[in-house]
Structure 1
Amino acid sequence: MIVKIQCLAIFLLLVSLFLSSVVHCIRSHPSSQMALEIAVKAAVGAPHALGDCPFSQRVLLTLEEKKIPHKIHLIDLSNKPQWFLDVNPEGKVPVVKFGDKWVADSDVIVGILEEKYPEPSLVTPPEFASVGSKIFGSFVSFLKSKDANDGTEQALVAELSALDEHLKAHGPYVAGERVTAVDLSLAPKLYHLVVALDHFKKWSIPESLAHVHNYVKLLFARESFEKTKAAKEYVIAGWAPKVNA
């Protein structure tokens, strides 16, 4: 009888320890409690497919890299649903629901995600935070340019060359061996650059920029990128009105 009581006591102790560890795990990882809701752009002409917004993909990449459960709402920007406008009157994407509040702006969202879900850390060292920050603007100017001699191509090559030099010294990612937030910001923009310039201008990143080519290859091969990228045809459809304006 005494042996049975002792065995039962040990069993109850083990159960108690197990339940305590489960509770601790849940408290340590709030993402396990509830999926975050995120509203992103739907594809042009295909409202049930993921759209081409690089800022939406940046947030999705962050969620995937941190393995935060999330529920995606695809928003047709040409026919925004009323519930979306009710919670987000400006109608911008991406927006993420934190508690009872929908928060816009990818910079703000990524900052909140890093604070609430610090592991794995995606913090970029401050001295590297602005690396590549002018590439997207230079790409857009060149893409929309109708004048081959206006200097926009040279400006883009200069920005890509600066990135190449940085990666040569600090790569393979912007901050070294580990992917950080700046990489997740650049990845969608470089994807748009590669897809749109190839389609509309038959242009590609110069082969001499070997470190940029390796960087692009690394980023595009990540599982998080494969899961969050828009199909090439939707990237092209998204840029077509701007290029043809």
Structure 2
Amino acid sequence: MSTFRVQPATTCAISSTIKHFGFTLRFPQKNCAVFRRPRNLSIMAASTDPLEICVKASVIAPNKPGDCPFCQRVLLTMEEKHLPYDMKLVDLSNKPEWFLKVSPEGKVPVIKLEEKWLPDSDVITQLLEEKFPDPPLVTPPEKASVGSKIFSTFIGFLKSKDPGDGTEQALLNELSSFDNYIKENGPFINGEKVSAADLSLAPKLYHLEIALGHYKKWSVPDSLQYVKSYMKNIFSKDSFIKTQALPEDVIAGWRPKVLG
């Protein structure tokens, strides 16, 4: 994987260039870090060039992805499938012109597949599964929605100013339901192996842990031992550690929603 942090103005560029829509992009050397990983030979046969993906940049540290759980979901998918990729880090507070040409709405993640730039983590991960089916990450339809309400109830509790409005209990209900499910079906949503549903949920649980810990001094109760074990297991995976946002980025990212 090679990582590029893209800024709108610079006089220092790496020697190679990338062309998009008839114009040439040059990326700044001073904020450019290159990472390499062993490539799976079967994947190389299907795709010799790294996939280009644009994700939110950290506001805290150079050459680190920012606090977008949907971006991390896509990065996790590529890591778990051992796909080589070029990660382009975009400052969303000062979006460069080239980025707005490939993502007119200014949203991330966007990925280049078969010469087309595609948005939306749902669409991207589905297409990655279709194009690179090995190793499979498909979650059976009857399990795909497990834990899907946790993120929205987390946001409701995080934004709440009234301790008695029921938002904490709503979150606890969803976490309890997930705890019971993992107890009977775990350690992951589809059993022994990580699947697409885990890669969608895990970044959201990471945000939950950090944001609620910081803003509400709240943590998942010890009684929900299977939720805590699930989080520990998936947060310790190499693919997760490699793609996670810094805690400071997560805290900064949620600040406007908490403070209004």
Question: Which residue does the alignment assign to 1:3?
Answer: none
Residue in structure 1 matching 2:66, options 51, 58, 69: 51
Is 1:126–2:141 an aligned residue pair?
yes
Hey, what's the Cα distance between the residues in 1 that align with 2:114 and 2:62?
Answer: 27
Find the residue that maps to 1:218 and give its secondary structure: helix
Preserved contact between residue 213 and residue 219 of structure 2 (Cα < 8 Å): yes
Q: 2:204 matched to 1:176?
A: no
The code of the aligned residue for 1:211 comes to Y
Residue from 83, 107, 118 that aligns with 2:122? 107
Matches within 5 A, 1:137-216: 137-216=152-231
Match of 1:14 in 2: none
Task: Note the aligned Cα RMSD (angstroms).
Answer: 1.3
> What is the DSSP-based 3-state SS (H/G/I as helix, E as strand, rest coil) of the residue aligned with 1:165?
helix
Q: Distance in 1 between matches of 2:102 and 2:123?
A: 17
For the residue of structure 1 that corresponds to 2:138, the secondary structure is coil
1:94 to 102, 109, 118: 109
SS at match of 1:102: strand
Contact 2:60 2:248 in 1 (8 A): no
Given candidates 35, 53, 63, the residue that maps to 1:38 is: 53
In structure 1, runs of 5+ residues without a counterpart are 1-24
Q: Which consecutive residues of structure 2, in runs of 5 or more, have no partner in the other structure?
A: 1-40
The one-letter code sitting in structure 2 at the alignment partner of 1:195 is I
**Deviation at residue 44 of structure 1 after TM alignment:** 3.1
The answer for the alignment partner of 2:31 in structure 1 is none
* Letter in structure 2 aligned against 1:131: V
Aligned partner of 1:16 in structure 2 is: none
TM value normalised by structure 1: 0.87
Could you tell me the percent identity over the aligned residues?
Answer: 61
Give the structure with the larger helix fraction: 1
For residues 188 and 226 of structure 1, the distance between their equivalents in structure 2, rounded to whole angstroms, comes to: 11
Indicate conservation of the 8 Å contact 1:47/1:74, yes or no: no
Deviation at 1:87, TM superposition (A): 1.3
Aligned residues: 220
How many Å apart are 1:29 and its aligned residue? 3.5
Q: What is the CA–CA distance in structure 2 between the aligned matches of 1:233 and 1:26, rounded to whole Å?
A: 38
Deviation at 1:100, TM superposition (A): 1.5
Deviation for aligned residue 1:241: 1.2
